[in-house]
Structure 1
Amino acid sequence: METVRPVFAPQLYIPNGVRDVDFYINGLGAVELRRFSNDDGTIHVSELSINGAIFHLHEETRNPASFSPLRHQGSTVTIGLFVDDVDAYMARAVAAGAKVTSPVQDYDYGYRQGDVMDPFGHVWMFESRI
């Protein structure tokens, strides 16, 4: 029997009716691996990867515990992404439509970090060790 190692692959909820998720490609450098569309052409699921780390965008479901952050004007999670150049990732994300929620700075615990909110309300923290 093959041993399967746990791999973290978050599923981020987006509002129903979304057709364009180019922010993740242009703003984060993600590659779309697959897409499952609804009959009307809207996105049901988009599977993306950033440097081999997979995550999914999924339209909201009927599960009341799983929803797009836009529905409640906030997110319950921050997605940390370790990168080589925090400032470059922040600038790229902002140019693609993200809003800065915490500017880039160095912290005394040894990280350089900055946060943005993407167009669907998800909070991303770009970080690197200093």
Structure 2
Amino acid sequence: MTTDNTTHFAPELHIPNGTFNVDFYIKFGATEHFRFLNDDGSIHVVELEINGAIFHLHETMRDALEPISAKGVTAVIGLFVPNLDEVMQKAVQAGAIEISPAQDYDYGYRQGMFKDPFGHHWQIQKKI
């Protein structure tokens, strides 16, 4: 887990109000730190971590958009990992849709992209 004395990003991915299940992320390999629920049992916020990279799933509020209602990508989550092909495979097995397969690029990166069940695009990458 990232310590408080380091600078790091912690993206907040918005999910539709009334969401009860975010099991995709656990199947993908995330560890859940905490979860706050609304009175109806739906998710208000969940903190997750993938090998030290913390992110949050949060119900849509204020002027925030989530990809399904926005009918498009609201951000691309870039995740650097040492085992890119394994991570891509695990994501697809957990229910993601592959957008572009992992491949090497002339600019020195190996990258692949998938869309998670809530419409968020993840670019999995590694410097080569």
TM (normalized to structure 2)? Answer: 0.92
What's the counterpart of residue 50 of structure 2?
Answer: 50
Question: Does structure 1 residue 97 correspond to structure 2 residue 95?
Answer: yes
Extract unaligned runs of 5+ from structure 2.
none
What's the counterpart of residue 19 of structure 2?
Answer: 18
What's the counterpart of residue 70 of structure 1?
Answer: 68
Extract unaligned runs of 5+ from structure 1.
none
Q: Separation in 2 of the partners of 1:76 and 1:67?
A: 7
Q: Separation in 2 of the partners of 1:68 and 1:102?
A: 21
Q: Separation in 1 of the partners of 2:33 and 2:7?
A: 20
Structure 1 pair 71–4 and aligned structure 2 pair: CA distance change class (3 A): same
Indicate if the aligned counterparts of 2:66 and 2:74 stay in contact, CA closer than 8 A.
no
The more displaced of 3-12 and 37-46 is 3-12
Q: Separation in 1 of the partners of 2:84 and 2:52?
A: 18
Q: Separation in 1 of the partners of 2:26 and 2:10?
A: 17
TM (normalized to structure 1)? Answer: 0.90
Deviation of the 1:4 alpha carbon: 5.2
Aligned length: 125
The RMSD of aligned alpha carbons is 1.4
* Percent of pairs with identical residues: 57
What's the counterpart of residue 34 of structure 2?
Answer: 34
What's the counterpart of residue 114 of structure 1?
Answer: 112
What's the counterpart of residue 82 of structure 1?
Answer: 80
Q: Separation in 2 of the partners of 1:84 and 1:118?
A: 20
Deviation of the 1:7 alpha carbon: 2.5
C-alpha offsets along residues 29-53 of structure 1, whole Å, 9 cap, x if unaligned?
A: 1100000000111100001111122
